[in-house]
Amino acid sequence: MADLDGIKVDKNYHLDKEFATDGNFHVKGAANLDWGMKKRLTNIFNPKSGNTVMFAFDHGYFMGSVSGLERLDILIPQLIDHVDVLMATRGALRTSVKPGFRKGVALRVSSGSSMLNDDLSHEIVAVDIEDAIRLDVDCLAVQVFIGAEGQLESIDNLSRVINAGNRYSIPTLGVVAVGKDMERTDQYFKLATRILAEMGVSIVKTYYCDKFEEVVAACPVPIVVAGGKKLPEKEALEMAYNSMQGGARGLDMGRNIFQSYHPSQMADAIGKIVHEKFTAKEAWDYYSQAIR
């Protein structure tokens, strides 16, 4: 255990300095990875902008049929041309997404609870690495519950998925879970995102918070920001803009896209912020125009 006596109290995130080894590759922390990892990360992060719009519709894995996701077979064809990556379960992919599509895939591989449980933090790894290979996915997504009852098993899940993914050059996306007892503070997200990065994930999904730029600076892999509960579109675009200003490399958004009355226009507006440096106002004007 590190000796905590005499520890430096002030922290310095060097917010004015770029991440040190980014030089020859557009994904933070991935410069030293092998060809297969880099190919898959390039399917996720656009090499021009370095950023990504991920569309999360994996909610059914514990929430069942949520509002907006009742008919994946109808929704996904409407959205597929408007996002960079689909984040889904294998059941959703095989049943409702045509295999010929040319976008990235983040495969949800952890599972084990449902809305009927009080404590959602107990999960297992539900997908074999061979099945992920058969589906030709670009990363494996595991939920991690730092500070919750299920912390140990979720870190065990994460480690096993990272080890299996590394054998076949498939990156892992660590998803920071927030539950009723987990605060959405920069202290909590600094702790959780850094633990996931040190475990070996190539991408972290977390939430926007105050001092978000410090969370990003202290995390040596790219952060994509979760949308969370549905907000009015204008607020969701502001959150997306603030996230990108704070150093996020993209959004991994679900409800704020599929619960919008105009999902594809909302996805496009997010894409303008993520890839074309639109301000929140410009993206809102774009969205308002597009839905007329």
For the annotated catalytic residues, the residue numbers are 205
Q: Residue 26 or residue 268: which is nearer to ligand 5RP going by CB? A: 268
Which C-beta is closer to ligand 5RP: that of 121 or that of 256?
A: 256
Residues within window 220-239 making contact with ligand 5RP, judged by CB under 6 A = 226-228
Residues numbered 18-77 forming contacts with ligand 5RP, rule: CB under 6 A: 56, 58-59
In the complex, the smallest distance separating the C-beta of residue 236 from ligand 5RP, rounded to whole angstroms, is 9
CB of 178 to ligand 5RP, least distance (A): 9
**Which residue in 93, 139, 140, 175 binds ligand 5RP (CB under 6 A)?**
175
Of 72, 87, 203, 239, the one binding ligand 5RP by CB under 6 A: 87
CB of 210 within 8 A of CB of 186?
yes
Q: Is 253 in the site for ligand 5RP (CB under 6 A)?
A: yes
Q: Using the minimum distance from each CB to ligand 5RP, give the nearer residue, 26 or 59.
A: 59
Question: Which residues, numbered 89-148, are part of the site for ligand 5RP (CB under 6 A)?
Answer: 143
> 31 or 182, CB closer to ligand 5RP?
182
Residues near ligand 5RP, by CB under 6 A: 56, 58-59, 87, 143, 175, 205, 226-228, 253-256
